[in-house]
A and B are shown apart, each in its own frame.
Chain A
Amino acid sequence: MATNTATVIKLKVNFQLNTPNGLRRVIFGLEKDATSGKIVVWTINFQLFERAKKSDPFGDPIVSLDVEVDKALNAKAEKAAKGLTAGQSAHALGPAAEDAKAAEDGEIDQEDAQETIQNTLKKK
């Protein structure tokens, strides 16, 4: 079978954010999907990990949420893909993590948590 140069259809880089106490970790993944010939769709893969002690490994994520980014925020998503700013990092490790867990515990609606996660992109 003849092989030719492969064409990249998706590239995904996960941004890893650790809390200073080493007990929590957020994986903020940004995916751009323009492959099906439709309008560009950005998706945030948000995962929150917790561990009791620093010597323990992080297991499976306690929360894992996929958020399809509002098209109005596409430009901000494009920019965030080049790296989160300090404000965005703070939002992801702060309100986004809090709301993701609150939604998992049933304290708030999942839509609210998704909106908070998406708001990470709006931060300076």
Chain B
Amino acid sequence: MQRRNIRLTLRRCVFAGEICLLLIVISAHLCFAQDERAIEATELGNLQNFYATHDPHYARIVAQLPALQSALTELKSAAGQSCSSPIEIALRRTTSAIQSSEQPQYGLIRALVTIPGEDDENRLAKVLACVNDARLQALAQNVQEEFDLIDLVEAKRKAKAALRKVVEEKQAAGSCKGIDLEQAGLKVRSIRINDPFVFLPWVKARQRRAAEQITALIKDKPFTYTDASAKALDIIENENFLPDTSDARVKLRVEIVSVANCTNGGVDLIYGVYSTQIMPVLSARPEARVKERETPQTAAGQTTVETKDASPFHFTPLGGYDFTNLLSGGGRFEYRPRKFFGLPLKSAVIQGQASSRMHNVSGALEGAYDSEVEAPGWLAHASWMLNFSHYSLPTGAGNIKGGHLIAQFSGVSKPLAGGNLSFRFGAAVDGGNRQTEAGTLILPPNTVLNAGFGTLKFYGAVDSRFRRNIFSATYALELGSVGPAARIDWRKHIIDARHQFWYSFGNHHLLDLESHFTAGRLQIPGKVPLPERFFGGNNEEFLIASDDWQIRANPVIRAIPGSKFFQTTEGAGGKDFFSYNFTAAYGIWRRTLVPEELTTDDDFKSELEGAITTVTSTLQNYYSSKDPNYENVKSQLPAEQTALTDLKTVVANAQAAHANQFADLFKACTRAVNLGLRRMNDAISPTAGDQYSSIASVLDPDDSDLLKVNTACERDLNGALQDEALRAATARVESARKALTAQFAQIDQAKAEKKANDDMAFTRRSLNTLFKDVNIYSISPVFVFDVARIGPRSGSIGGTRYGPGGGIRLELATTAHFTLGYAVNVNRGPGEGRGNLFFAIGIRDLFY
């Protein structure tokens, strides 16, 4: 019974010792402002020593300490003065070891024995090197043998387990923060690759391949930073989650390795891939902002990649409802091959939407040109299209119809005005027919129900994108004829302006405010087909057929269904109008495109900016290469090349004349000349690099390889040699270098830098939006308020309508985006309803 109590007491002591030790370790952690991982490494060492003292061999050493003390004490009195110092130190260590316990004792015993590679203590060996004593020899040998038999591997294993326990207890359950995962001996429990665009088949295929390889590399194996970070990231990079696109974009790839759930000896690894490709200029358009919201994969350049995994076919179902159109359905089918049969085209598109009352179908061939970011000229983007469309829209009193073929062209300038504006311009010619199912429609004067027609359209716009705003204003002129092409029967003027503002409250809870103002006037010197007059309502009509430039050409009011807002004092269809549509939405539920822990990570933010800064720097170099002084620099390069070649010969001759003298100095000079010559050859005829870059580097006034020529050959070699020919040859090199450097300094770098910054302004702002504001899912309540006026008016015929309303907007990049709402027609006219239920849906591309 008494023995059991003793054992129990001992066990409690050991347990208390462990607890004390752990508390000391934790206190040390808190008290000393060391790096957390360094502390953990120290903790591990301490714990290992602690568990080593539990080894039975250690106990045998402790048992021999009194005998050792006795032997050393005897020797101290017997030995001479010369050996007193090592004996005294060994005795002191031994006595202290007897008086102490646990790690301090372990440390003292360790100081007595021999540890390979450590000779600073080694006290018993040092005594035995000085005196020859058989008793001490035997004791020392015993102690050494027992010490060598201590199972340090087991002690380390126990230490790791204890450390894990401490770390887990002192942190939020499972958090990996501050843990050296390799040192802690955790095993990889699972791996996952996160890419927000994984719903795209080509991304999914790459993700699957990469995940399989990484799983084979590290799953169920001890965690190592080399495998988990470096090798796994190599696998991800080899899969290339950022292929080239069919349009010119600024690319950005961010890869993140994260760990989670550091529990039960395991850890989960999460790899994040965030690839984005931004169109440098086109991102300033309001249409682009809508895409950022509805289909961020398009804004991020993930749907135009040129890769075998990506399908050339695209199909997007469409749907909608309002009280007049009724339920409509349709889709957009696009064929976008990598090469379009050698034609200057990029895609063929067929689009249609129809209900029992309406239809709108079109077929188009589209082509586009994107100038490289680093390219001369002011044109950033151009597009052309041949489109045939046919439509029939219900007015509630008859349908307006049309069919026509349109050929159109448009262009976009590079950013101007300090990177704050870009211009769009274009022209279109079309011809076809306009028809009317008259019903009860009253035909206004100078208007025909059915007619063949031709039009010529010109349009221009200014766009601007800031951190949280996009402004755009378009003016368009349409000249139309129902007779000979040279005759103008009507002129239509359209002003279409849009403003979008967004602000993120908290984390990605986005407030979106959109305003859309449109005004139009029709002048009719001859005759005009009825459908060319202005018919308003929930139906939106566009002047040209383009997804990228939507010039609205009718009054839109969501409170009036279909195209039912048309009655004027003259009859059906307005001669002038304006409409203003305001939409406010606030994202109450969302999932961010980029995880929150990244968007708040300072390193992430600065490296993101860094990527754009780097592209801007490259662009600055490009603009510097367009400076007239650069051509002068280029023309002077051969002179320096000749001077270096001459110097090489002079050095060779000098070395021949001074055989076996100053070998090192000659070697250094020759090496410098060869390097300088190689750099100069690369600057004149680059083989792998860019010419401007090679020239800029070789003429760097502070750190150029040409500077080393003067140092090695004139200062060092000729300082010893005093050779006039060498001095003259080096001086020619230096003189030519100075002339070139002076000429290079004439390049207006500030101007180049400004131009580069201007060019990248939209890109920088778009990137910020994509990474900081965009959600992959969001659900937002929506408030709408519309005002629309049509004229000429008299009483309740024509005039102004107001349409407040509300609804809900769902934007699920992975699936669909839709808006459902109801707006009230506050000031309704004859034949107009009380309000309108409007619904529009766009399903994600089914083939992508």
Q: Which residues of A contact B (CB under 8 A)?
A: 1-22, 24, 28, 31-33, 35-37, 48, 50, 54, 57-58, 80-98, 100-102, 119, 122-124
Known contacts A82-B613, A83-B611, A83-B614: A94-B374 contact under CB 8 Å? no
Known: A81-B606, A82-B613. A87 touches B233 (CB 8 A): no
Partner pick for A11 among B254, B270, B373, CB 8 A cutoff: B254
Assuming A7-B258, A9-B229, A94-B690, is B617 touching A88 (CB within 8 A)? yes
A10–B209 CA distance with the chains assembled, in angstroms: 21
Closest A residue, CB atoms, query B307: A57
Residue pair B688, A48 in contact (C-beta under 8 Å): yes
The residues of B that contact A81 with a CB separation of less than 8 Å are 603, 606-607, 610
Contacts of B617 in A (CB 8 A): 83-86, 88-89
Docked complex Cα distance between A18 and B183 (Å): 41
Would A8 and B601 count as touching, CB distance under 8 A?
yes
A-B contact list, 26 entries, CB within 8 Å: A1-B268, A3-B261, A4-B172, A6-B258, A6-B270, A7-B176, A8-B598, A8-B601, A11-B257, A13-B255, A15-B614, A17-B614, A18-B374, A33-B229, A37-B37, A37-B180, A86-B624, A86-B753, A90-B694, A90-B697, A94-B686, A95-B694, A97-B693, A98-B689, A102-B678, A119-B703
| A91 and B749 alpha carbons, distance in the complex (Å) | 16
Is A37 a contact of B41 with CB atoms below 8 Å?
Answer: yes
Q: Closest 6 A-B residue pairs measured CB to CB?
A: A83-B613, A37-B37, A94-B693, A83-B610, A101-B688, A6-B258
Q: Are B689 and A94 within 8 A (Cβ)?
A: yes
Q: B688 to chain A: which residues have CB within 8 Å?
A: 24, 48, 50, 97-98, 100-102
Find out whether the CB atom of A10 lies under 8 angstroms from the CB atom of B229.
Answer: yes
| Complex Cα spacing A57 to B698, Å | 31
Within 8 Å of chain A (Cβ to Cβ): is B372? Answer: yes
Q: Are B703 and A123 in contact (CB under 8 A)?
A: yes
Q: Is the CB of A6 within 8 A of B259?
A: yes
How far in angstroms is the closest Cβ of chain B from A24? Answer: 7
**Smallest Cβ distance from A35 to chain B, in angstroms?**
5
Q: How far is the CA of A7 from the CA of B41 in the complex (A)?
A: 19
Taking a contact as CB atoms closer than 8 A, the residue among B255, B604, B613 that contacts A84 in the complex is: B613
Contact B692 A13 (CB under 8 A): no
Q: Shortest Cβ distance from B723 into chain A, in angstroms?
A: 28
Min distance, Cβ B600 to any Cβ of chain A, angstroms: 11
- Of A21, A35, A58, the contact of B229 (CB 8 Å cutoff): A35
Say whether B702 faces chain A, with CB atoms less than 8 Å apart.
yes
Q: Is B601's CB under 8 angstroms from A36's CB?
A: no
For window 156-205 of chain B, which residues contact chain A by CB distance below 8 Å? 172-177, 180-183
Tell me the bound Cα distance from A96 to B270 in angstroms: 33
| A-B residue pair count with CB separations less than 8 angstroms | 233
Known: A15-B610, A35-B225, A36-B225. A90 touches B255 (CB 8 A): no
Pick the contact of A94 from B233, B243, B608, B696 — CB < 8 Å?
Answer: B696
CA–CA, A69 and B735, complex, Å? 34
Which residue of chain B has the shortest Cβ distance to A108 in the bound complex?
Answer: B678
Contact A101 B687 (CB under 8 A): yes
Give Cα A86 to B705, complex, Å. Answer: 18
Select the residue from A16, A28, A88, A124 with max chain B CB neighbours within 10 A.
Answer: A16
What is the bound-complex CA distance between A117 and B618, given in angstroms? 16
Q: What is the bound-complex CA distance between A5 and B439, given in angstroms?
A: 65
CB-CB under 8 A from A3, the residues of chain B are: 174, 260-261
Contact with A along B596-629 (1 / 0, CB 8 A): 0110010110111111111111101110110000
When the two chains form their complex, are residues A2 and B261 in contact, meaning their CB atoms are under 8 A apart? Answer: yes
| Interface size counted on chain B using CB atoms at 8 A | 87
Asked whether, in the complex, the Cβ of B372 is within 8 Å of the Cβ of A22, the reply is yes
Interface: B547 (CB within 8 A) = no
- Nearest-CB residue, chain A, relative to B692: A90
Instruction: For A87, list chain B residues within 8 Å (CB).
Output: 696-697, 700
Contact flag A82-B174 (CB < 8 Å), given A11-B256, A12-B254, A20-B375: no
**Is A90 touching B614 in the complex (CB atoms < 8 A)?**
no
Q: Are A11 and B618 in contact, with the CB atoms below 8 A?
A: no
Q: What separation, in Å, do the CA atoms of A101 and B686 have in the docked complex?
A: 11
Q: What's the nearest-Cβ distance from chain A to residue B708, in Å? A: 12
Report whether A86 and B621 are in contact in the complex, using a CB–CB cutoff of 8 Å: yes
What is the bound-complex CA distance between A85 and B696, given in angstroms? 13
Instruction: Output the least CB separation between B744 and chain A (Å).
Output: 11
Residues of A within 8 A of B613 (CB): 82-84
Q: Assess the A91–B697 pair: CB atoms within 8 A.
A: yes
A75 to chain B, nearest CB (A): 15
Q: Which residues of A contact B251 (CB under 8 A)?
A: 16
User: Measured between alpha carbons, how far is A1 from B41 in the docked complex, in Å?
Assistant: 28
Chain B 307-339: CB-based contact to A (< 8 A → 1; otherwise 0): 000000000000000000000000000000000
Neighbour of B689 across the interface among A16, A35, A93, CB < 8 A: A93
- A37-B41, A82-B613, A98-B682 as given contacts; A91 in contact with B258, CB under 8 Å: no
Nearest residue (CB) in A for B688 is: A101
Choose one: A4, A9, A82, A85; the contact of B175 (CB below 8 Å): A4
Chain B residue at smallest Cβ distance from A91 = B697
Bound form: Cα–Cα A67–B783 in Å? 56
A93 to B614, CA, bound (A): 12
- Asked if B604 contacts A33 (CB within 8 A), the reply is no
Least Cβ–Cβ distance between A52 and chain B, in angstroms: 14
Encoded as 1 (CB less than 8 Å from any A CB) or 0, chain B from 226 to 270 comes to: 001110010000000001100000011111111111010000101
A9 to B183, CA, bound (A): 15
Instruction: Give every chain A residue within 8 A of B694 (Cβ-Cβ).
Output: 90, 94-95, 98
- The distance in angstroms between the C-alpha atoms of A20 and B587, with both chains bound, is 42
Binary interface encoding of chain B residues 131-166 relative to chain A, with 1 for a CB under 8 A from any of its CBs, else 0:
000000000000000000000000000000000000
Chain A residues contacting B263 (CB-CB under 8 Å) are: 2
Chain A CB within 8 A of B24 CB: no
Q: Which residues of B contact A96 (CB under 8 A)?
A: 689
Task: Answer whether residue B118 sits at the interface, using C-beta atoms and an 8 A cutoff.
Answer: no
Complex Cα gap A44–B180 (Å): 23
Q: Which chain B residue lies CB-closest to A101?
A: B688
Contact of A36 (CB < 8 Å), options: B180, B306, B683, B689: B180
Residue from B268, B595, B688 whose CB has the most chain A CB atoms within 10 Å: B688
CB-contacts of B354-408 with A (<8 A): 372-375
Q: Is B40 an interface residue (CB 8 A)?
A: yes
**Minimum Cβ distance to chain B for residue A95 (Å):** 5
Interface pair B697/A37, CB less than 8 Å apart:
no
Docked-complex contact A18 and B618, CB < 8 angstroms: yes
Q: Does B772 interact with chain A (Cβ within 8 Å)?
A: no
CB distance from A50 to the nearest CB of B (A): 8
Q: Which residues of B contact A6 (CB under 8 A)?
A: 176, 258-260, 270, 595, 597
Q: Which of B271-293 contact A (CB under 8 A)?
A: none
Given A24-B688, A86-B753, A98-B686, residue A11 in contact with residue B375 (CB < 8 A): no
Known pairs A2-B173, A3-B174 / 4 extra A-B pairs, C-beta < 8 Å: A4-B173, A12-B256, A20-B374, A91-B693
Specify which of B174, B225, B375, B603 is in contact with A4 (CB 8 Å cutoff).
Answer: B174
CB distance from A1 to the nearest CB of B (A): 6
Q: What is the CA–CA distance of A37 and B255 in the complex, to the nearest angstrom?
A: 21
A7 touching B607 by the CB < 8 A rule?
A: no
Verify if B74 is at the interface (C-beta below 8 Å from A): no
Q: Which of A32, A33, A57 contacts B225 (CB 8 A)?
A: A33
CB distance A10 to B597 under 8 Å? Answer: no
| Inter-chain contact A7/B614, CB cutoff 8 Å | no
Minimum distance in angstroms from A117 CB to a CB of chain B: 12
Residue ID in chain A nearest B172 by CB atoms: A4
The reply to whether the CB of B664 lies closer than 8 angstroms to some CB of chain A is no
Q: Does any Cβ of A come within 8 Å of B120's Cβ? A: no
A86 CA to B172 CA, complexed, in Å: 45
The reply to whether the CB of B67 lies closer than 8 angstroms to some CB of chain A is: no
User: B724 on the interface (CB 8 Å rule)?
Assistant: no
Query: Is B679 part of the binding interface, using a Cβ–Cβ cutoff of 8 Å?
Result: yes
Q: Name, among A3, A8, A15, A124, the residue most crowded by chain B CB atoms within 10 Å (CB to CB).
A: A8
| Neighbouring A residues of B692 by C-beta, 8 Å | 20, 90, 94
